[in-house]
Structure 1
């Protein structure tokens, strides 16, 4: 079994977004990882979930050590993620045949396959990557330079892991309420306070926020600091892990409460821009959250399809039942749409980093849109697919329950859904990003020439016009009204983007490969999620196996079974 082979959407998207040379370098490592994730890493993840880490606060002499003990299964997963595949280093250095840094999408593609096996470890992997990016962008000095070098290392004797400590009891969303304080200590700082929720709490390099002397009561009064696990002289830094959290999901990876007691820290960037600088790390993690949620959708769908093909009820396999197909087809379309948005966002991040101002404005709003929509939908998709397996799915001996538990993380960490929706509204107010997206996506639709997609193209163009008008209305409405309505608006905006990208990819595959399978998936997503037309979805069921298996679909076959135009 190979997770790459089970995914009909992945390789065609790689063809569309990556240059031939990049595809050639990616292909062998992707093939290896696809098989490795399914055959070695997924069973390890099952074991790690059942054997969570434990905290030893003291050694046998009574000295404070705060050491976290990891099960051997998790340690093997760590070696795979950080060393064999270099998932936290891929945005910063050449690996796997690249002399220079590969495109951002390479990291997202490999991480997407890895996360289908193990979700919990992906959090510290993402934070390690994001910490290096943030320090590279804002940090200065030899100590920070050494930290970056070790954060992006795949050498087992050199590599560091990263974390971010933001949440306090009174300061989760409201960072201005941060109570941790920074005291000047020569060229560096001493930090004191308590961080209530800190994932990967024994990380080597931590980015954290603290109030600095003379700062005001807003977020501008909070500075960004690098907190190393050890002081420059090698001694343990002055903070302790009070306890580990008992979490719903991501049980393989530790999260804890940490108390800082005059802990040694190095200033990162400008003090009064600490929160804005930390937002760089948060936003990178938010996009990774969307990618990880997409991976959960894909894995859960693989599990459901495998079960439905094997389980016999009343003399027939479940997969033969029309209602089961009607359940699974929209989930398949949902997973493909999510993956398409992750690819597009990763591409916009690459272009934005290269200086494309329009791409930078797009990724600024695409990140919260993807997190808001995809992470919530992952909860639905994993729940539906668990039900396909029935009572077995509810039993922890199967992976479905773990997938459901883990799926709830994406909507909460790095900002709950309401916080993220308000971030979308903030982007709209600052840059009219709803108009930018509508202009970009309508341009894509206008350029499509695939006749078989005509009804959907016209439908989406009309809806883009309507959603721009609604967005303008939100911006002119009183603040409480706009804030009350932005959640549903953000979801509809995300769905229109996903539908548009599906149609664009459908034309690419039809033109390049003479394959119309993606067009059927696009029709299913638009009918199920945008138009809400179950009849159209039902008329696509004769092509169910083609869509979920990635079988090539001819133009004549589509023309013979194309549903009546959407209303």
Structure 2
């Protein structure tokens, strides 16, 4: 059976990595792109479909009646997990040197680029992967000595030693309002116990669970919350008192388990200072939100590729759909937004690497880039995957094809780790506290191609902050989208400048100019002529002569 290499079919990925990675890292990542791209287009895709069709099952009791609360998984689930955790170390590479041969920790840019290829076939596993990665990060940042063994297990690629992580945050009465958490922590001297219920608990069979609980005497709301580590097994090897009440029957992300969990005086130990619980969870959430944006981008790329391939072979009224003007007008924004999204995710990853190295300006940028990416890209993924389903027609609605799974999974991104409104309000919080819109304009607003847009957005943000608070909240969603698109536009022009200078190819310039043109006027009748003339290069990659672009002032 022939397979498609998803790295080879991506017109933007390798050129982008050429620009953002060091020469040594670019050499190191190339064989991994080739291997994972082939797996994603072949075995991983087949196993992911099996795992989605055969979701995990809850086994509450052993044959003798003992409570065991195990999760039984299809072999396909275990195979897609082994590719992620063991072969490619996607949960390990940010925490120790040596993963995949890197002399130091793998840069976040590499991690997200590889994860982006992986998720194009297997979305669900990215949830426990992200939580495992984030759990190791939080423990490293806030309590590395006490939890050295747990960090080592979470960052292991050895199938006999590796552990998975989970984040139990949501409670039935609280939802997004974590300050309403009712789970109570009790100090037992050598350890604590937690009692309460968690309403959405993905990867409920995890080895290492991080959760919030109310510390008596510490206060109300979020300030009263401490972070605790709840192990699957107590130190004596017995099963901890974490009862899985039932698994969720989910619309998507079916390959991994999510459940409702009761903590019945569960053994727990504090993470760092108990007064820092909410801040620690926010750190975990922020990284998970960037992962959500990456996953949305991967779903868009898969949907676009499926649509391009379908329209090339589907004949309607005597010629392929791909050559029909209305279909090109439909595909073009999908192609542009997908490519722009990849640039934003990689940019945020690069800034996260710098932030982790102590760069204060990068820390400020990551703080706002992450919610912007999560807000805009997850919403756009729902539209792009839905459009791709319609492009395939009736077959797109049939489970024999990947489109239904892409649509189901895309809707989760706008809910997981904060719904769109919650994320937009987080952007507003960044603006109020850190003048984040001015930080963005100061970082990205000096390029000639986008300078005017950034000046307008800076003034618009200043004006927004002068409005009554309820009007600010009503307006922030639209403004957050405008900020995100301006960042992506700037990044596309940065890539265009790089490719024109280093390769002499005009494809990236065509992408950037067409993206700018669609922001200025989304009317399909106003599409730049060169975008239609070189549509195959936009869809599949390939050279675009610079001379052709320079001759046509309609771009």
| Shorter-chain TM-score tier | over 0.9
Of 462, 469, 472, 1:472 maps to: 462
Of 321, 325, 330, 2:328 maps to: 325
| 1:140/1:354 CA distance change after superposition, 3 Å | closer
- Preserved contact between residue 527 and residue 533 of structure 1 (Cα < 8 Å): no
What is residue 542 of structure 1 aligned with on the other side?
533
Instruction: Name the SS for the 1:190 alignment partner.
Output: strand
Structure 1 residue 318: Cα displacement: 1.0
Of 543, 546, 550, 1:555 maps to: 546
Matches of 1:430 and 1:494, distance apart in 2: 19
What is residue 45 of structure 2 aligned with on the other side?
42
- Preserved contact between residue 517 and residue 546 of structure 1 (Cα < 8 Å): yes
Matches of 1:140 and 1:553, distance apart in 2: 51
Matches of 2:27 and 2:144, distance apart in 1: 36
Matched, 1:147 2:163: no
Root-mean-square deviation (Å): 1.1
Structure 1 residue 32: Cα displacement: 0.5
What is residue 514 of structure 1 aligned with on the other side?
504
Matches of 1:302 and 1:90, distance apart in 2: 28
Cα deviations by residue, 1:343-392 (Å, 9 ceiling, x for unpaired): 11011111111111111100000000000000000001111111110000
Structure 1 residue 166: Cα displacement: 0.2
Matched, 1:127 2:131: yes
Structure 1 residue 533: Cα displacement: 4.2
Structure 1 residue 521: Cα displacement: 1.2
Matches of 2:268 and 2:339, distance apart in 1: 44
Instruction: Name the SS for the 1:169 alignment partner.
Output: coil
What is residue 372 of structure 1 aligned with on the other side?
375
- Preserved contact between residue 527 and residue 534 of structure 1 (Cα < 8 Å): no
Cα deviations by residue, 1:31-72 (Å, 9 ceiling, x for unpaired): 100001101101111111111111011111111111111111
| 1:526/1:438 CA distance change after superposition, 3 Å | same
- Preserved contact between residue 26 and residue 96 of structure 1 (Cα < 8 Å): no
Alignment of 1:40-189 (within 5 A): 40-93=43-96, 94-142=98-146, 144-189=147-192
Matches of 1:114 and 1:124, distance apart in 2: 14
Matches of 1:472 and 1:96, distance apart in 2: 46
What is residue 489 of structure 1 aligned with on the other side?
479
What is residue 452 of structure 1 aligned with on the other side?
none
Cα deviations by residue, 1:299-343 (Å, 9 ceiling, x for unpaired): 011111111111112221111111111111111110000000011
Instruction: Name the SS for the 1:389 alignment partner.
Output: helix
Structure 1 residue 527: Cα displacement: 2.3
Matches of 2:372 and 2:46, distance apart in 1: 33
Alignment of 1:268-279 (within 5 A): 268-279=271-282
Cα deviations by residue, 1:89-146 (Å, 9 ceiling, x for unpaired): 111122222121121111101000000010000000010000000011012544x111
What is residue 297 of structure 1 aligned with on the other side?
300
Structure 1 residue 562: Cα displacement: 4.5
Matched, 1:359 2:362: yes
Of 18, 21, 24, 2:21 maps to: 18
Structure 1: 5+ residue runs without aligned partners?
447-456
Alignment of 1:139-538 (within 5 A): 139-142=143-146, 144-443=147-446, 445-446=447-448, 457=449, 460-537=450-527
**TM-score computed with the length of structure 1 as normaliser:** 0.96
Matches of 2:159 and 2:375, distance apart in 1: 36
Matches of 2:543 and 2:26, distance apart in 1: 21
Structure 1 residue 272: Cα displacement: 1.5
Matches of 1:80 and 1:299, distance apart in 2: 19
- Preserved contact between residue 517 and residue 528 of structure 2 (Cα < 8 Å): no
- Preserved contact between residue 231 and residue 237 of structure 1 (Cα < 8 Å): yes
- Preserved contact between residue 163 and residue 207 of structure 2 (Cα < 8 Å): yes
Which stretches of structure 1, 4 residues or longer, exceed 6 Å deviation after superposition?
none
Matches of 2:80 and 2:370, distance apart in 1: 27
- Preserved contact between residue 505 and residue 546 of structure 2 (Cα < 8 Å): yes
Structure 1 residue 538: Cα displacement: 5.1
- Preserved contact between residue 495 and residue 530 of structure 1 (Cα < 8 Å): no
What is residue 449 of structure 1 aligned with on the other side?
none
Structure 1 residue 528: Cα displacement: 2.3
| 1:530/1:246 CA distance change after superposition, 3 Å | farther
Cα deviations by residue, 1:152-206 (Å, 9 ceiling, x for unpaired): 0000000000000000011221111000000001132100000000000000000
**TM-score computed with the length of structure 2 as normaliser:** 0.98
- Preserved contact between residue 191 and residue 210 of structure 1 (Cα < 8 Å): yes
